[in-house]
């Protein structure tokens, strides 16, 4: 049964593959000059294959059911649809956009590398990750695409309905 995330109604959240977060941390000067996440979608990820690197979603319910996220065929993707995102790892971070740049700056890609080499459950036990989640309680969530549907483990393109 899919999990529910406790979101704050009216707040905007970014749904992003954990692998892509390091792209933000690697370009801090760019973020300071252009902190608009809508524009950064094509600035940080200019490649056509990642035209939908993350979704921006304004919470419409407090109890967000991740079953609202559906896999779709890449032929249906459009770069201007902010409710679509892609994934390479299947580990999705859901972060309040008000703190996203702070989270990205503190995100440790080495922890992620360990996760990808080991079991996904390792992430919840990793010291740095546990501290980061605790620091941003209520503003930082995560789930695995396999929680939506076992067949969706790993990469793919998704749409929030």
Give the pLDDT confidence of 52-70 residue by residue, as tens digits. 889 999 999 999 999 999 9
Domain ranges of the chain: 4-160
3-state SS assignment for residue 85: strand
Give me the percent of the chain exceeding a pLDDT of 70.
73
Burial of 125 from C-beta contacts in 10 A (0-12 / 13-18 / 19+): exposed
pLDDT tens, 13-40? 999 998 888 888 777 666 656 678 888 8
pLDDT at 98: 93
No. of helices (H) and no. of strands (E), the chain: 7, 9
Provide the pLDDT confidence category of residue 1 given band limits of 50, 70 and 90.
very low
């Amino acid at each position: 049964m899919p999990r529910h995330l406790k979101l704050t109604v009216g707040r905007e959240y970014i749904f992003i593959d954990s692998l892509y977060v390091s792209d933000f941390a690697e370009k801090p000067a760019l973020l300071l000059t252009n902190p608009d996440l809508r524009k950064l979608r094509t600035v940080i990820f200019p490649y056509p294959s990642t035209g939908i690197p993350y979704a921006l979603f304004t919470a419409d319910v407090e109890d967000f059911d991740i079953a609202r996220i559906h896999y779709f065929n890449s032929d249906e993707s459009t770069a201007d649809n902010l409710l679509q995102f892609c994934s390479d790892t299947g580990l999705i971070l859901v972060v309040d956009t008000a703190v996203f740049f702070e989270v990205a700056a503190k995100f440790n890609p080495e922890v992620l590398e360990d996760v990808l080499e080991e079991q996904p459950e390792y992430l919840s036990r990793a010291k740095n990750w546990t501290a980061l989640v605790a620091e941003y309680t209520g503003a930082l969530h995560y789930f695995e695409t396999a929680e939506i549907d076992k067949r969706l483990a790993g990469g793919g393109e998704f749409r929030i309905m």
